[in-house]
Amino acid sequence: MDNKTNFSLEGKVALVTGASYGIGFAIAKAMAGAGATIVFNDIKQELVDKGIAAYKEEGITAHGYVCDVTDEEAVNAMVAKIEEEVGVIDVLVNNAGIIKRIPMIEMSAKDFRQVIDVDLNAPFIVSKAVIPSMIKKGHGKIINICSMMSEFGRETVSAYAAAKGGLKMLTRNIASEYGEYNIQCNGIGPGYIATPQTAPLREKQPDGSRHPFDQFIIAKTPAGRWGEASDLGGPAVFLASDASDFVNGQILYVDGGIQAYIGKQPS
């Protein structure tokens, strides 16, 4: 098999959760470029409609579904509908997620549980829903969107770090439990990505200087920049393709080198 065929997603159905915009949209766009048929969900019809319009602008015919990925019954119904209307899911990207930046002692247990529910329980629910058909088909790829918080702690993100650390281990356990069925489950750990959600952290200050957090990230990143959502497309296509058939249970950090770098010595 040549490399071009090895990285092709022709004939594959890829479900990317929460992919109306942002990182999920960029990953889905890259997979579509490699030949995949794109399916995505979001929690509201208006978001699904906006997503379909955005894909259409890129020349991509995407199939959108309204579904709360924390609702097991709704997820099972969505997966059954996708199989009926589009085809068996070959590639699942568990992308949907939330973050609540609240100091731990100020965070309610309700808020903590919500982050765990969306960022950890939902990938379990959606993966559980697609694995039986992957087993029957004889192959499958699951990609969990982890985080540098799968490895590190940081102020105000106790729930997010707990969820993403758990997602790393769920990734490894799916690989361990279902690898014999030719199912590969890996994770992508994005670094700091320039998205609308992080825009306030990159705004120029009144005196024209960088935002303090922006300065911090640039100083800690050997690449000397924030990542772009498109930087995640290549790694996602690799993990979704036959090129990664013997890669299982790994987390691929796409962080511009942050985790390899101790930082500059103060001048």
Catalytic residues: 160
Instruction: Using alpha carbons, list the distances in angstroms from residue 215 to 153, 198, 224.
Output: 19, 14, 10
Q: Is 242 helix (H, G, I), strand (E, B) or coil?
A: helix
Residue 222 phi/psi, 5-degree rounding, is -55, -35
Instruction: Using alpha carbons, list the distances in angstroms from residue 92 to 24, 110, 142, 144, 197.
Output: 11, 28, 5, 8, 24
Q: Which of 189, 146, 174 is nearest to 248 (CA)?
A: 174
Residues of 221-254 as b/e, b for ≥16 C-beta within 10 angstroms?
A: beeeebbebebbbebbbbbbbebbeeebbbbbbb
Q: Which value, to the nearest 10 degrees, does the dihedral of the CA atoms of residues 155, 199, 237, 159 take?
A: 20
Q: Please, what is the end-to-end C-alpha distance for the chain in angstroms?
A: 52
